[in-house]
Structure 1
Amino acid sequence: MSDLQSESQAAGRPYVLVAPTGARRGPSDHSDLPVSTDQIIQTARACSMAGANGLHLHIRDAEGQHSLDAGQYLETMAALRQSVPGLDLQITTEAAEIFDVPAQFTCLEQVRPEWASISIREIARSPELADRVYGLCAGQGTRVQHILYDADDAALLAQWQKAGIVREDQVERILVLGRYTAGQKSTPQDLDRFPKGLSPWMVCAFGAQEHACLAYAAGQGGDVRVGFENSLTDESGVLWKDNAASVSALVAKLERAVK
């Protein structure tokens, strides 16, 4: 647990991770969606000031496409640590229908991040590599946050934990409400489909009810991830000015709930 995570929990609200970019959206979706390194840094500063504890990082190649390039990751992370030293950094290994499991493994091996999100269903595309992926993370000290989209993913995680493929301390999970679909309308009750258990869990949610879903999760003891990767608008369908505006509104909502 980071100092920031301890502070947020001591204040009575959950840990807030911001996901400002994602793998699929771009400036055509929102003019303030950050894709360049400078834009990501500016967004990170603003979101940290708004109350975010950590940043879920995506990077893009020269054509603006989702990338897992290790060199670019390392450069971006170094710039973020210098500019926003108090913000936790989590990289994504998302395949986004572009990268296979060997490419994801190489990214983890070369970047050696402190924290990474990994989709168990993506690793299951090459089950023979699963032990190597989770063993690599354990050996180099990379915290793993398992991305779970449904109860089947949760069951696979439990199976791999029992088999020792997923290591004993690799217990963090992010429960995803909804997917990238047109007119996505996740609801708070979507969370009820997931077994939560006692290990640390976080929630992200697609659609206009993003904040309502996150508040519902927080009320059940979960941490939260917010940002343009999942939703660009408030509950009325009005575009947020930027990621920091969404973070600020969510933090205010969570803090009101604990008073």
Structure 2
Amino acid sequence: MSRLAALPRIMLAPNGARRTRADHPALPETVAQTVAAATAAHQAGAEALHAHVRDSEAHHVLDAGLYRELLAEMARVLPEMPVQITTEAVGRYSPAEQRALVRDVQPEGVSVALREMWPDPGPDAEAQRFYAETEEAGIALQHILYAPDQVTRLASLWAEGLIPAPRQVLFVLGRYAPPTLARPEELDGFLAAASALPEDVQWAACAFGRSEQACLLRAAELGGGMRIGFENNIERPDGSPAEDNAAQVAALVKALRDHASPRGQEV
């Protein structure tokens, strides 16, 4: 069974597909930089890594060889931290290329955006086969959902027997482009729509912009997981530049402790 079958409480997303070191000098681009960022963030409290790989020019790529390199290095340096790869298209990759990556790498976990893998409302035999194959292979698949209507669509596909029961979902709050600051109350719409999903579905949230921490605290209050890192936000809550991914994780862990204590005391 995949170590990611149980959704981690805190998952690190250290780079994403769009930002580079021009945006923040501590953003990892290479495999070595990603492993170093994951190691520091793990020490700060992150339990798993949501990984993107980059080519020699720091462009996001769905490259099976680079992913295998990253997975091997993580297994060597930090074997206790499982890795979820991404199939994010960023306008560059087709659903067929996304499926090919997962079939080639066979990772422990993968994030798949429903709107990218099954973009059209009608039947899609290839997408249907992919979701069934991934379930059969024991790969922990997390459905990435950008709006409550996508949650509703996911629930409909499951109810119609077209995909296996969703086990993990990620609610994306705010937007990268156009820049849209996440709001904690966005969770309400996602969770209302999620009532149509299986009762045991595991959910987490990520949030764009300096409101990231506030949104993740709200997710924790409501029983969800938290995905944090420079993929979504490179600022502290006050809008000043973040130090690095590990510092963001450490600040979230402290805020969770403070939030759990009525007087902000250590617990």
Corresponding residue to 1:191 among 187, 192, 206: 187
Residue 148 (1) aligns with residue 148 (2):
no
TM norm structure 2: 0.89
Q: How does 1:80-159 map to 2 (within 5 A)?
A: 80-125=74-119, 127-159=124-156
Q: Which amino acid aligns with 1:193?
A: G
| 1:52-90 C-alpha deviation (Å, 9 max, x unpaired) | 000000001122111111111011111011111111210
Relative to structure 1, the CA distance from residue 181 to residue 70 in structure 2 (aligned partners, 3 Å threshold; closer, same or farther) is same
Alignment coverage as a number of residue pairs:
252
Q: In structure 2, what is the equivalent of residue 176 of structure 1?
A: 172
Structure 2, unpaired ranges of 5+? 262-267
Q: Which of 182-191 and 36-45 deviates more?
A: 182-191
Relative to structure 1, the CA distance from residue 212 to residue 205 in structure 2 (aligned partners, 3 Å threshold; closer, same or farther) is same
Q: In structure 2, what is the equivalent of residue 44 of structure 1?
A: 38
Q: d(CA) in 2 for partners of 1:24 and 1:234?
A: 19
* Percent of aligned pairs with the same amino acid: 39
Q: How does 1:189-228 map to 2 (within 5 A)?
A: 189-194=185-190, 195=192, 196-197=194-195, 198=199, 199-228=201-230
Q: In structure 2, what is the equivalent of residue 160 of structure 1?
A: 157
Relative to structure 1, the CA distance from residue 5 to residue 120 in structure 2 (aligned partners, 3 Å threshold; closer, same or farther) is closer
| 1:195-239 C-alpha deviation (Å, 9 max, x unpaired) | 343321000000110000000111011110000000000111111
Q: Which amino acid aligns with 1:242?
A: D
Q: Which amino acid aligns with 2:185?
A: Q
Corresponding residue to 2:23 among 25, 29, 32: 29
Corresponding residue to 1:62 among 56, 63, 66: 56
Give 1:167 shift. Answer: 0.8
Root-mean-square deviation (Å): 1.9
Q: d(CA) in 1 for partners of 2:162 and 2:76?
A: 35
Q: d(CA) in 2 for partners of 1:147 and 1:17?
A: 14
Q: d(CA) in 1 for partners of 2:238 and 2:135?
A: 43
Residue 77 (1) aligns with residue 71 (2):
yes
Q: Secondary structure at the match of 2:35?
A: helix
Contact map agreement 2:4 2:140 (CA 8 A) in 1: no
Give 1:4 shift. Answer: 9.3
Give structure 1 regions of 4+ aligned residues with deviation exceeding 3 angstroms: 1-6
Contact map agreement 1:174 1:204 (CA 8 A) in 2: yes
Q: Which amino acid aligns with 2:51?
A: L
Contact map agreement 1:5 1:15 (CA 8 A) in 2: no
Q: In structure 1, what is the equivalent of residue 264 of structure 2?
A: none
